Amino acid sequence: MNFNLLKEHQMLIKLYEEFTEKEVKPWAEEIDETETFPVNTLEKLKRYGFMGIPFPKKYGGAGGDILSYILAVETLSKACATTGVVVSAHTSLCGAPIFEFGSEEQKLKYLVPLASGEKLGAFALTEANAGTDAAAQQTVAVKDGDNYIINGSKIFITNAGIADIYVIMAMTDKSQGTRGISAFIVEADTPGFTIGKKEAKMGIRGSSTCELIFENCIIPKENLIGKEGKGFSIAMKTLDGGRIGIAAQALGIAQGALDETVNYVKERRQFGKPLSYFQNTQFQLAEMKTKIEAARMLVYKAAYLKESNLPYANEAAMAKLYASETAMEVTTKAVQLHGGYGYTREYPVERMMRDAKITEIYEGTSEVQKMVIAANLLK
């Protein structure tokens, strides 16, 4: 058993940190304030090979392992949770299912531009009436000769409107229930496919979250991923992987907030002493640090299991549950330790607190993670 990161991972972290400091942190406040997608950052992420870290070089990726990718999401999220989720949704939710379940043709046609960063990806499962109950899909895909005709809508889709390639779920056979759901690849400019209104959100405000609308949207049958009826299983497996990404995002948010707080309490003085002198401050920081470290171990372990082709769904659920709840707790404490200043938008911790909340909700709520963990425990 070895808890040290490999040399190559340590080097990667250095690289990610430099990039984050230079290209991400300076824009974090602005994209939150103006709710604009970080287009310029995306250009740079693409140039530095952030968009396909875990995919083989032959598919346009960087040929890294899962942990290399997870470390990237964590580091980016320390400064800007929006940038973290743009990369995570793109990689884990769009690139990964095509890589894991797509045909060779699909990989060449779609994964290559995704992994090289030439195109941006999104994943669409959630509907107005199918959130946690993801099997209650109402979007339908009807086979018509060499095509499928898609009708329906999706909500809350990350990267929507900016993405070029979407992995979507639709019912091909309602009578089969979850076995009647299929996964498809839809290109952004397909006729009959439009983007609805952008949601106004509490946090990760630079990330674009919109509705997708399909009105007699015709796609070729070659865009079916795997077999008909396999969609639900593809979606669930995709989310298992995605959860490690969100756990890494939560971990980064928490670490970022702790770093800010440590600096702050050393500078700010009250009663003639720095805040860091008070034992309450010290104990709060100690708890924050301990929880972050525990979360980190869970996240890295899940990444390791996935990399090693071992079962990891349970560990991914635990990592996401614990890391996101830690992020919420740590950011709340960070605001408290900043006092009144922490409540103002001059300091980044209030943004981090707003960003932290979504990690307990998307890619399966905390409650869903508990269902997964409990089901494993009691089986």
Partner 1 sequence: MNKGVWVFIEQREGEVQKVSLELLGKGRQLADQLSTKLTALLMGENVAQAAQELIYRGADEVIVVEDSLLNVYITEPYTKVMSCLIEERRPEIILIGATAIGRDLAPRVSARVHTGLTADCTSLEIEDETQNLLMTRPAFGGNIMATIICPDFRPQMSTVRPGVMVELDIDTTRKGEIINIKPSLVKEDINVEILEIVKEKKQKVKIEEANVLISGGRGLGKIDGFEILNQLASELGGMVSGSRAVVDAGWIDRDYQVGQTGKTVRPNLYFACGISGAIQHVAGMEESELIIAINKNTEAPIFEVADVGIVGDVHKVIPALIEELKSLKK
Ligand X SMILES: Cc1cc2nc3c(=O)[nH]c(=O)nc-3n(C[C@H](O)[C@H](O)[C@H](O)COP(=O)(O)OP(=O)(O)OC[C@H]3O[C@@H](n4cnc5c(N)ncnc54)[C@H](O)[C@@H]3O)c2cc1C
Q: Which is closer to partner 1, CB of 154 or CB of 205? A: 154
Does residue 201 belong to the site contacting ligand X (CB under 6 A)?
Answer: yes
> Is residue 191 within 8 Å of residue 145, measured between CB atoms?
no
With CB under 5 to 8 Å by kind, the binding choice for 358 among partner 1, ligand X, none is ligand X
Cα separations in angstroms, 284 against 83, 220, 292, 336: 28, 56, 12, 10
Size of the site for ligand X (CB under 6 A): 26
- 367 binding ligand X? (CB under 6 A): yes
Binding segment (CB under 6 A) for ligand X, from list 42-50, 97-105, 150-158, 264-272: 150-158
Among 151, 190, 336, 365, binds partner 1 (CB under 8 A): 151
Helix (H, G, I), strand (E, B) or coil at 323: helix
Using the rule CB under 6 A, is 131 a contact of ligand X? yes
What is the C-alpha end-to-end distance of the chain, expressed in Å? 28
Judged by CB under 6 A, the residue of 124, 254, 327, 335 near ligand X is: 124
The DSSP result for 55-114, as a single string, is S-GGGTS----HHHHHHHHHHHHHH-HHHHHHHHIIIIIIIHHHHHHS-HHHIIIIIHHH
Burial string for 279-309 (b: 16+ CB within 10 Å, else e) reads: eebeebbeebeebbeebbebbbbbbbbbbee
* Dist CA 257 CA 205 (whole Å): 17
Site for ligand X in 293-332 (CB under 6 A): none
Least Å from the CB of residue 223 to partner 1: 23
Beta strands 181-187; 165-171: pairing state: antiparallel
Residue 132's binding partner among partner 1, ligand X, none (Cβ under 5 to 8 angstroms by kind) is ligand X
Q: Are 209 and 157 in contact (CB under 8 A)?
A: yes
DSSP class of residue 130? Answer: B
Which residues in the 100-139 window bind partner 1 by CB under 8 A?
128-129, 138
Residue 21 annotated in active site: no
Nearer to ligand X, 16 or 362 (CB): 362
Interface with partner 1, residue 202, by CB under 8 A: no
Based on the shown chain and the rule CB under 8 A, indicate whether residue 373 belongs to the binding site for partner 1. no
Amino acid, res. 85: V
User: Which residues of the shown chain bind partner 1 in the complex (CB under 8 A)?
Assistant: 128-129, 138, 140, 151, 153, 174, 196-197, 211, 213, 215
User: Which residues of the shown chain bind ligand X in the complex (CB under 6 A)?
Assistant: 89, 122-126, 128, 131-132, 153, 155-158, 199, 201, 209, 211, 358, 361-365, 367-368
